[in-house]
Amino acid sequence: MDLRKQVQEKIDNKTKPVSSLGLLETIALKVAMVQQTPEPEIRQPHVVVFAGDHGIAKTGLVNPYPAYVTAAMVHNFMAGGAAINVFCRQHQLGLTIVDAGVDADLSRYHGNPSFIDAKIARGTNNYQFEAAMSFAEMERAIGAGAFIVKEIAKRGTNTIAFGEMGIGNSSAASLLMSTIMRLPLSRTVGKGTGANSAQLAQKRSTLQEVLDQHEAICQLNSPLKSLQYFGGYEIAMMAGAYLGARESNLVIVVDGFIASAALLVAHAIQPAVLDNCIFGHCSGELGHHAILHYLDAQPLLNIGLRLGEGTGAALAIPLVQSAVAFQREMAGMETLVSANQERLEA
């Protein structure tokens, strides 16, 4: 009997009606197939948050919060005061913060085991006028993300999630989504970090001008060129992290809009990465539902989250743990048959 059939029969034979645990049953089967065992387990689940600044954020045209908030939030992460810190503490998840390209001196955290200095540069270029990064910088970021994840895997982690911090990165994600999925900005650009109606209109107008400016690049239909021109270092590093997680055969719990935009790039490079992915939630951001549909993904949660940081994935990991736990520990129907036989013979 092949492994998929063996695991599915084990799930169906639990002391419950078939399919009555819904999506948890799908997740249990998926984890078993990733790990290639009928007895899967979740070990040392870990969240990695990549932080980076975007050149366009300094203009204020696409973001209601000032660019310096990226660095301020990294300080908050390191002090343990952000939402992702709270959820990781609550659910006993490992947490690593990565400086992918923050426009600030974060050397005070060097040597802290929860912090990785992988800074490519102090923020990207303003993609209104030029590519956000050079092709070489993009390749360095992708490689760094893959390396970071492989090192975490060596310490015993077999389940990982990625978050991000970067003022203006919902705009970068919208541009990536638009160019990779060939969608108009009206379907990809949302409010991001709380823009009002006037700010949203300005954001859409600005980003349309960006696409018009780089029309030749957009026509190439190349995910890597799109990443080079419109991405952030944190998004490029996250794309590499997905690839590294696939190579290390980790279970990947995908966060929201920005994380899914990075996955679009990784998927274009290595389509098989989806075999390792469980989608944590459907974001409240406009374009996320379309990405989930494009990737044929069914998220575990839909509670209106739009924060980023990996928070949706952190909240979903306990559900993944529950899926694996019932598959490993729940009694099978033969237990009921045996108990009933003993009662009849008594």
> Mind giving me the DSSP string for 199-241?
HHHHHHHHHHHHHHHTHHHHHT--HHHHHHHH--HHHHHHHHH
Which of these, 86, 55, 88, 51, lies nearest to 236 by C-alpha position? Answer: 51
Which of these, 46, 32, 116, 34, lies nearest to 74 by C-alpha position? Answer: 116
* pLDDT band, very low/low/confident/very high, at 270 (cuts 50, 70, 90): very high
pLDDT digits (tens, 9 = 90+) for 209-266: 999 999 998 888 899 999 999 999 999 999 999 999 999 999 999 999 999 999 999 9
Q: Where are the domains of the chain?
A: 46-328
* pLDDT higher than 60, residue 84: yes
* pLDDT higher than 60, residue 346: no
Q: In degrees, to the nearest 5, what angle opens at C-alpha 296 toward C-alphas 84 and 238? A: 40
pLDDT for the residue 338 = 58
Beta-strand runs (E) in the chain:
46-52, 94-101, 115-117, 159-165, 251-254, 277-279
How far is Cα 192 from Cα 263, in angstroms, rounded to an integer? 18
Q: List the catalytic residues.
A: 309
Q: Considering only CA atoms, give the Rg of the chain.
A: 21
Which of these, 45, 57, 145, 151, lies nearest to 103 by C-alpha position? Answer: 57
pLDDT digits (tens, 9 = 90+) for 292-322: 999 999 999 999 999 999 999 999 999 999 9
Hey, what CATH class is 46-328 in?
alpha beta
* pLDDT band, very low/low/confident/very high, at 337 (cuts 50, 70, 90): low
CB atoms within 10 A of CB 130: 14
